[in-house]
Amino acid sequence: MPHMSPRPLRPVLASLLAAAFAAAPAGAAGLQPTGQFSVPAAAYVATPPMGWNPWNAFRTEVTEAKILAVADTLKQSGLADAGYRYVDIDDGWWLRRRADGRIEVRTSMFPSAAMADGQTSLRPLVDRLHALDLKAGLYTDIGRNACSQAWDAHSPNLPVGSVAEREIGSLEFQEQDMRLFFGEWNIDLLKVDACGLADFGPAKAAVKAGQFRALAPLMVRAHPERSDEGKVEGLYASLAKAIATVRPLGDYVLSICTWGEASVADWGRRQGNAWRTSADISATWASMLRNFDSAEQRALYAGPGHWNDPDMLEIGNGEFDAAHLTQARAHLSLWAMLSAPLILGADLTRMPQELIDIARNADVVAVDQDPAGNQAITLMRDGDTQVLAKTLAEPGAVAVALVNRGERPAGVSLPLARLRLGAQAGVTVRDLWTHQSRALAGDAIAMTLAPHETALLLVKGQAAPAQYLDRMPASVNVAEDGRAALGRTLPAGWVPARVDAAPSGAALTVGGKRHQDGIGVLDNSRLEVRLDQPYSRFLATAGVLDESRAAARRHAISYRVYGDGKLLLEKRSAAPVQLNVPVAGVRILELVAADSQKAAGPVALAWADARLEH
Ligand code: GAL
């Protein structure tokens, strides 16, 4: 498998900057080639952020003493050395917004914030964290009010004062707040929640009672069609811009927390470094799987600088405590395969050593932090078993997870051929939990897994002569996803572009033939593919998926392949077409599927068996 280390990130920043806050491309204009890999979000969080957040353990009872005790534990336990360095403060830290707009800190919880001149400042705490070689994260809301005000009404730590004083969210205060947080207080990460846009509508009892100013919801949970995605994205875009004016680019994390709502998973990468793909995790096996699944379909949206976020780790809590080590290992394995942010959420000062050891397993953390930034893709799913593969930066290296989601022991067998390595001879397999080699079962990797067990394996072989696009998702950018041309939200469960499946989730079947590998997209879409290696040819079968033939009404689709902005090939056809395009010297390949006619519904296509040959 070719070497896939990403290009150095800082040099590409300048070219990304211009696009960083531009409006999303829409419709036909978005089909024009750019000759660039234009993931417009800041691209400097080169690997997923790692650290700790107090919410799952303490909710709004988040005191400075607890935070410093955890910070100390991160240092003493070796977790900080393993990479867990962001120490976040979540909801509950604020007291009120003053008449001059400045937010006051609740000094009863953060005594070091009380300044001699009567001001409050989190700077002393941030400085202490920095002195420990840790990083500091803070929390705000994109609306006027925060989630605790909607959902933790009995918390003793809610903002106080008049309606206006209790508006501690960033709406209408973006520039002032970002100057305070990133300038004066010097924080490194900001998690930006969104209850302010969802939970303070005029019909809300607390709003009717005059406790909060009404804000017509821009987001309605589980109803993307009733959410104003454009406005929500716009607010995050202006917040990102406000941060960028305070902080030199390159050293902060913007974590978007709209719980997968307002189609954030489709646009989050344009505005932030990580975006939540689901509702809050809880410490149960079922919740962990639900959150895993919310990100698992979205490999094409993640890569260096922009990560799907299935929420914090529950290791140490509930069904992932010391009585559930198998589940704790599985949880970390799955998050590592997703290239998810690894944000621990238990009270680390009370975390048993076995669980600390799980969290700091350097081999597993290295899978999460692999510099290629490829999110794993699912190679097989059979009942409760699932096999995931993640292409690593080292040529010929793949991380493989064999997963038993179910309650009974289960056998799993992965034919080596599915890994698309260069040759089957000489393949080695190392178990990243037992740290032992594993023998192959003939030409397969086979294991029996205990209930809820995940085996995480490092497989090494020869790099293959062809690189399949589905195996290099961090090098593919969904530049135009086709939703704008559709003019309405997609059916529930659809993903505009996915690996090895149709946007609907069905198999990639074109002209009666099922393809295991490929990329499923909507029509009127454009993919940008970054070629980090010299390749000679691009090959694929492009065609309307069989499930969309009725909607497409036998329209001719125009399939276009561009190299560095120049048209290399165009084929117009209602039937599937074979593509074989020379790409020597090309750095950015663009794949456009354009359909100017009105379709009866969403039309899905495949770039099946899309691959680059050396
Ligand atoms: C939720 C968020 C949680 C936590 C909480 C604070 O919306 O998803 O992670 O931040 O708000 O109130």
What is the per-residue DSSP string for 583-602? Answer: -TT-SEEEEEEE--SPPSS-
* β-bridge partners, 225: none
140 CA to centre of ligand 1 in angstroms: 10
Rg of the chain over all Cα atoms, to the nearest angstrom:
24
pLDDT tens-digit series, residues 144-155: 999 999 999 999
Question: Of 531 and 3, which is predicted with more confidence?
Answer: 531
Those residues whose C-beta lies under 8 Å from the C-beta of residue 243, and which sit 6 or more positions away, are 178, 182, 190, 252, 254
**What letters, b where the CB count within 10 A reaches 16 and e where it falls short, cover 510-533?**
beeeebebbbbbbbbbbbbbbbbb
Q: Which of 72, 127, 280, 384 is catalytic?
A: 280
* β-bridge partners, 526: 480, 592
139 CA to centre of ligand 1 in angstroms: 9
pLDDT tens-digit series, residues 532-586: 999 999 999 999 999 998 888 888 999 999 999 999 999 999 999 999 999 999 9
CB count within 10 Å of CB 208 equals 12
Ligand 1 pocket mutation pick from 61, 147, 275 by most atoms within 8 angstroms of CB: 147
**Per-residue pLDDT at 29:** 75
193 CA to centre of ligand 1 in angstroms: 7
CA–CA distances in Å: residue 435 to residues 320, 371, 438:
21, 22, 9
**In the predicted model, what is the mean pLDDT of residues 192-197?**
98
In this structure, the residue with its CA closest to atom 5 of ligand 1 is: 147
Q: Which atom of ligand 1 is nearest to the CA of 151?
A: 12
The Cα 164–Cα 601 span in angstroms is 46
Residue 602 in this model has a pLDDT that exceeds 60: yes
576 CA to centre of ligand 1 in angstroms: 47
Ligand 1 pocket mutation pick from 58, 142, 276, 280 by most atoms within 8 angstroms of CB: 280
Residue 18 in this model has a pLDDT that exceeds 50: no
Burial-class residue 69 by CB neighbours within 10 Å (0-12, 13-18, 19+): middle
The helix (H) or strand (E) run that includes residue 359 is: helix 353-359
Residues flanking ligand 1, CB < 6 Å:
55, 90-91, 147-148, 193, 195, 257, 259, 280
pLDDT tens-digit series, residues 294-333: 999 999 999 999 999 999 999 999 999 999 999 999 999 9
pLDDT tens-digit series, residues 23-48: 333 456 799 999 999 885 445 789 99
Local structure of 361: helix, strand or coil: coil
Is 532 an annotated catalytic residue? no
342 CA to centre of ligand 1 in angstroms: 16
The Cα 271–Cα 511 span in angstroms is 38
Q: Which atom of ligand 1 is nearest to the CA of 139?
A: 10
Share of the chain above pLDDT 90, in %: 88
Structure tokens, 578: 């074979």
- Entry pTM: 0.95
> Residues 276, 84, 393, 6: is their CA dihedral positive or negative?
positive
Secondary structure (DSSP) of 144-195: SS-HHHHH-TT-TTS--SSTTTT--SSTT-HHHHHIIIIIIS--SEEEEE-H
323 CA to centre of ligand 1 in angstroms: 27
Q: Which of 88, 193, 309, 481 is catalytic?
A: 193
The Cα 406–Cα 585 span in angstroms is 48
* β-bridge partners, 191: 139, 255
Q: Which atom of ligand 1 is nearest to the CA of 148?
A: 12
Residue 11 in this model has a pLDDT that exceeds 50: no
63 CA to centre of ligand 1 in angstroms: 17
Angle at 173 between CA 229 and CA 124, to 5 degrees: 120
In this structure, the residue with its CA closest to atom 1 of ligand 1 is: 147
Q: Which atom of ligand 1 is nearest to the CA of 147?
A: 12
CB count within 10 Å of CB 350 equals 10
Ligand 1 pocket mutation pick from 141, 257, 317 by most atoms within 8 angstroms of CB: 257
- The residue type found at 343 is I
CB count within 10 Å of CB 428 equals 14
Q: Which domains does the chain carry? A: 1-18+48-276 (3.20.20.70), 377-464 (2.60.40.1180), 467-613 (2.60.120.1060)
Is 280 an annotated catalytic residue? yes
In this structure, the residue with its CA closest to atom 6 of ligand 1 is: 91
pLDDT tens-digit series, residues 442-499: 999 999 999 999 999 999 999 999 999 999 999 999 999 999 888 888 998 999 999 9
- Of 61-75, 414-428, 512-526, least confident by mean pLDDT is 414-428
**Per-residue pLDDT at 425:** 85
Length of the chain: 614
593 backbone dihedrals φ, ψ, rounded to 5°: -120, 110
The Cα 294–Cα 52 span in angstroms is 22
Burial-class residue 547 by CB neighbours within 10 Å (0-12, 13-18, 19+): middle
